[in-house]
Structure 1
Amino acid sequence: MKHNITINGIHPTIISYKYDINGTKTTAKYKVLEERRIAKLHIGKSIAIKTFNGSSIIKDLKPYNFPIWLFLLIPLSLLLIGLPFLIYAILKLKKELELYKFGNVS
């Protein structure tokens, strides 16, 4: 388990396993958050896996991954807050430029 990461009070568990494809033994790791299903697993126990193009997953477990789109919410919120101020500043600057160019106050 990784104790420096907690999601809803659960630490992700890293399962390390070996499998054989066409006579080649491969070692893989899989991060999961499902504590109840992991409690049934023991060292040396056989598990069902799926493989595709050299990568593999454990058949009945959902993987742990952190949604990267969550980090996009911070700049998006700053953009939404700052956009009205930017538009106001551009309109104010446009009026000042017209004043300096043409001398017309509007």
Structure 2
Amino acid sequence: FDPINKHFGVDLVTGDNEPVLATLDGTVILSNWTTETGYVIAIQHRHDLISVYKHNAVLLKKQGDFVVAGEAIAIVGESGEISTGPHLHFEIWYRGNPMNPNNFLRF
């Protein structure tokens, strides 16, 4: 997490084809491809929180889907121009501001 250098999340290294699980219950607000970060999914949660999951190989949910905590939403990959290998880039946003995921979750 280094917001000064526009790295608004943490990178979790895994093997290929691992499931990406929703952090909390919520509604998918983005499920799309971006050139830099590949397949991206974002979930709106209660209390103005948004979680973002980038560099996926496959997206399992579409915009508008409701998901529950622990539900598979994507498959880890290395999509996008700025990926450096199989990993999940994970972000948490609160009211439009990036938050350090390490302050909320144990990895």
TM range, smaller chain: 0.3 to 0.5
Which structure has the larger Rg over C-alpha atoms?
1
TM-score of the aligned structures, taking structure 2 as reference length:
0.32
Higher strand share: 2
Higher helix share: 1
Q: Which has the higher contact order (CA 8 A, sep 6+)?
A: 2
